[in-house]
Amino acid sequence: MAAAADAWRREAETGQMLGELERYGQGASLAQCPAMRALFGDGRSAPRLVAALVRTFAAALAREPFAHPPFRHGYDRGSATLMLARSGRAQLVLHGCEPGSRRFDVVSFGDGERREAVLAGKAKARIVRRRGQAGPFALQRLTLAPGVRLAFDMRAKALQVLAIERRLVSLRLHRFASLPAPTREYRLADGVLLRQSAGDIRASRQEVMLALLGRMRRADAVPVMGAIAREPGDASLRWQALRECLALDTAAGFAVLSELAAARSDVLVAPAAALRAQLLEAHPELAGLAIVPCPA
């Protein structure tokens, strides 16, 4: 299977696409990537690319029926994915979905852009579009069938597949924002924000590291925690860094907290000011600390 994948990658068309995916993953526009643009623009390029892959894989599977594809792959309740390539912020994924119906009470919006080329199958779907920051959503129904090409900003639009008549196979191109905002899930009926999760895997990784360093009582991590809390970035990560910093080193943490509370424009100004007031009330002796410089 690895040799089959290599053979597919060596094909001229695939090679060009992979080269362009690298540029696209670094931030180039799709207009600068003609092969990628064709994949998600015309009706022939995407089926040809996937047919070439399936041809080489089918021959390898005929010889080794239990072989696994050398791509990251997954299957979950009728939905299968095969990540054909990934570079920088971009991912090219082959997606298959078994027939069936789904009901949606919620809608999620990420921070990135998505293109989709439907290769096979038939399904009823809808685009859910945000109208401003809150409130109900605009719904636009569409039929997914071979030849359909979609492109949308994931911050404003989401695709929901409602009923699949025949197994739906599509090629998807994702590109996440360079500093992705959290993914947010809203109730469809009224647009109320229900939950959100980090849009950036690095932020979550750092958050777990901070928690671990905090539990280990690693005082040497205090300067790094202070720096993370002060620097621009994911608000949740910064707040957790501040909490861990305060718990590990009261003086250093309080200096960072005072700095944030006095900042001119920062999303953490209000919660930092509230926490500072709360701590000062509980521990009046902290008032004398405001001028202590942070070691970071």
* Binding residues for other proteins (CB under 8 A): 77, 102, 108, 182-183, 185, 193, 195-201, 203-205, 207-208, 214, 234-236, 239, 243-244, 246-247, 250-251, 253, 271, 275, 278-279, 283, 285-286, 288-289
How many Cα atoms occupy the beta-carbon half-sphere of 184 within 13 Å? 18
CA distance 284 to 278: 10
Of 78 and 136, the one with the shorter C-beta distance to other proteins is: 78
CA dihedral 91, 178, 88, 221 (to 10 degrees): -120
Q: How far is the CB of 76 from other proteins (least distance, A)?
A: 8
CA distance 35 to 259: 50
Q: For the packed helices 12-25 and 2-10, what is the interaxial angle rounded to 10 degrees? A: 90
Measured over the CA atoms of residue 177, residue 181, residue 185 and residue 188, the dihedral's sign is: negative
Q: How far is the CB of 240 from other proteins (least distance, A)?
A: 8
Of 3 and 201, the one with the shorter C-beta distance to other proteins is: 201
CA distance 14 to 69: 17
Q: How far is the CB of 227 from other proteins (least distance, A)?
A: 19
Of 116 and 207, the one with the shorter C-beta distance to other proteins is: 207
Of 44 and 205, the one with the shorter C-beta distance to other proteins is: 205
Of 16 and 79, the one with the shorter C-beta distance to other proteins is: 79
Q: Contact, 93 vs 83, CB < 8 A?
A: yes
Of 121 and 182, the one with the shorter C-beta distance to other proteins is: 182
Q: How far is the CB of 11 from other proteins (least distance, A)?
A: 33
CA distance 94 to 79: 11
CA distance 16 to 9: 9
Q: How far is the CB of 196 from other proteins (least distance, A)?
A: 5
Q: How far is the CB of 38 from other proteins (least distance, A)?
A: 28
